[in-house]
Amino acid sequence: MGIESSYGQIVRLPKRVSAPPVASTQPEGPVALTDVLPAQPFDPAATGFILASLPDNDSPVLWIQDHMSGRENGHLYVASLRGFGVNRAILQVQVSHPRDVLWAMEEGAACAGISAVVGEIHGAPPVLDFTATKRLAMRAEVSGVAVFLIRSADPGGLSAARERWRIGTRPSQPHPHDSKAPSLPQWDVELFRARGRSPGRWVAHYDPAAQRATDRFRLVSHAFDRALGQSDQPVSHRSGG
């Protein structure tokens, strides 16, 4: 940006310092398609992360799983979700082929009556290519339905997802009454590709007992040895896809 001064010279104004990225799970607009890559194939932290970041309404959630991810990573245990702080109807679809998962997700993404679509695909099949994710993302953008894709055992191929997360598990918080017992979960969440916000890496805390839905899930900065005042930049020891 430049302005003309009275001396006829062009003076360059200093660039505006951009505000450090805010550690929030909710970006400005609705997220069209979110890729979630579990750090380990069976890692349930990815499931927990998605359940924690579902849109805050009462509409049902469409949960689609292919045969392989059901066998390798287990099935969603809907009976436990109330204890996890998620109290809404879950429509489950069991299909055999990843192609059908993508078809069902597209159908769900086009339906404004549901709040979110979650698809699980195991092992990076060839049908899950850039075009498929692009179709999903565009459908979801039109309808405003949040679409999540759990890609387990996936090295992180090309994707048109608006946000891509890699979720791992961390040791849980200390139990207030029993030092030997695990307590509230903690996850290692890394946003390695995003549109409209900076990538970063955080530790996620989840407290299902919190009163308000927005209080249950919070991200805190990763504690690393580094200079003070640095913002949450992507951590260099992992390269995102």
Binding mask 116-145 for another protein (x = CB under 8 A): ------------------------------
C-alpha torsion sign, points 64, 25, 42, 149: positive
* 175: amino acid identity, one letter: H
The only residue of 33, 51, 68, 128 in contact with another protein, by rule CB under 8 A = 51
Comparing CB distances to another protein, the nearer of 72 and 141 is 72
Q: Does 176 bind another protein (CB under 8 A)?
A: no
Which member of 22, 29, 78, 233 binds another protein (CB under 8 A)?
A: 78
Q: Which of residues 10-29 bind another protein (CB under 8 A)?
A: none
- Minimal distance in Å, beta carbon 62 to another protein? 7
Nearest to 219 by CA among 240, 195, 198: 198
For residue 38, give every residue at least 6 positions away whose Cβ sits within 8 Å of its Cβ, in sequence order, or none. 45, 46, 73, 150, 152, 166, 167, 168
> What is the Cα–Cα distance from 167 to 154, expressed in whole angstroms?
12
Q: Out of 32, 36, 45, 68, name the contact with another protein by CB under 8 A.
A: 45
* Residues 197-236, interacting with another protein (CB under 8 A): 206
Does 89 bind another protein (CB under 8 A)? Our answer is: yes
Eight-class DSSP state of 231: -
Burial 41-58 (b: 16+ CB within 10 A, else e): eebbbbbbbbbbbbeeee
Residue 204: closest CA among 162, 167, 163: 167
Exposure b/e, 93-131, CB count within 10 A at least 16 = b: bebeebbbbbebbbebbeeeebbbbbbbbbebbeebeee
Among 24, 56, 131, 182, binds another protein (CB under 8 A): 182
- Residue 146 engages another protein in binding (rule: CB under 8 A): no
CB of 93 to another protein, least distance (A): 5
List interacting residues with another protein (CB under 8 A): 40, 42-45, 47-48, 51, 59-60, 62, 70, 73-84, 87, 89-95, 100, 103-104, 107-108, 111-114, 168-172, 175, 178, 180-182, 185-187, 206
